[in-house]
Amino acid sequence: MCGIAGLFIKATRLQPRLGELLASMTSTLCSRGPDSAGFALYTAEEPGKTKLTLTSVDARTDYDRLGDMLSRSLGASVSLTSRHTHAVLSVPTALAQSCRDWLLENAKDIRILSEGLNLEIYKEVGYPDEVAHSFDIGCIAGTHGIVHTRMATESAVTTTGAHPFSTGPDQCLVHNGSLSNHASLRRELRRDGIVVQTENDTEVAAGYLTRELKRGRTLGEALRSSVDDLDGFFTFVVGTKNGFGVLRDPIACKPAVMAETDDYVAFASEYRSLTCLPGIKNARVFEPKPATPYFWEH
């Protein structure tokens, strides 16, 4: 079942409302996925810095101490902002890989949910409205974002098993559907150097797009090739640093509706999720066609 939504803001005056609008859109999708929820938001960039969103499988609470230890080890200033069960590390971009390596070696409970100049991911087990409230999503400003409410059908209901998934810098994906060839493709991606941390089929789809982008394809080209390479039924909403994309499988059995105005492009599993958006009565509302990539960029 699951519910997915996304919002790509064109008008800068709406950027302060990104989190507020996404939280409202998500609220109408709670019944589609009451197990867990997640939000990927593209926020303001800090020049020369890379953000890493962290969570802990052991419910760590001493993120400040972790940041101090990391600063001493790297010999550079590391800023850390805690938000509910997550934390966002801001590190000099040149030291991002060293930061990853240090966390892998010295903080075995930590999982890196995202890395990039703009992307932050917050996801947790629980009823979607409560997840949004716990992370104070409504107060986050940004340019675009995607969300997911999960009804688990395969992999475990855990924080790391929730959507969105990010497998490359400033890239993320949410998914409604099921992939049948995810096990073989996961092995293939790992051989190609793509880090896949869970058994969730959606992370495989995210990893596939990351690999294709690394090979030099545009987002549109990567989405087109996925129609042939991914078996199953799916609707994807994808985020990149500057872009927002949507793709449905050739059968298009999962519900999807889009709306576009001069101020934004929005996607949701149900039209009622779009009704909170400003100017929706005057929007061009349409159903995305099967096997047809849609994408916008700033």
Catalytic residue ranges? 2
Q: What six digits make up the tokens of 100?
A: 């990853």
Residue type, 179: L
Distance of CA 145 to the CA centre of its chain: 7
Query: Do 37 and 29 form a contact (C-beta atoms < 8 A)?
Result: no
Identify which of 109, 204, 124, 211 has the alpha carbon closest to the alpha carbon of residue 160. Answer: 124
Size of the chain, expressed as the number of residues it contains:
298
Backbone angles phi, psi at 194, to 5 degrees: -90, 125
Q: Which residue has the tokens 């409604």?
A: 176
CA–CA gap between residue 261 and residue 155 (Å, rounded)? 37
Query: Do 143 and 78 form a contact (C-beta atoms < 8 A)?
Result: no
Consecutive H or E run containing 225: helix 219-229
Number of other CB atoms surrounding residue 160 within 10 Å: 16
CA–CA gap between residue 269 and residue 135 (Å, rounded)? 23
Identify which of 119, 124, 116 has the alpha carbon closest to the alpha carbon of residue 148. Answer: 124
CA–CA gap between residue 120 and residue 83 (Å, rounded)? 11
Contact partners, residue 270, CB within 8 Å, separation at least 6: 3, 28, 29, 32, 255, 257
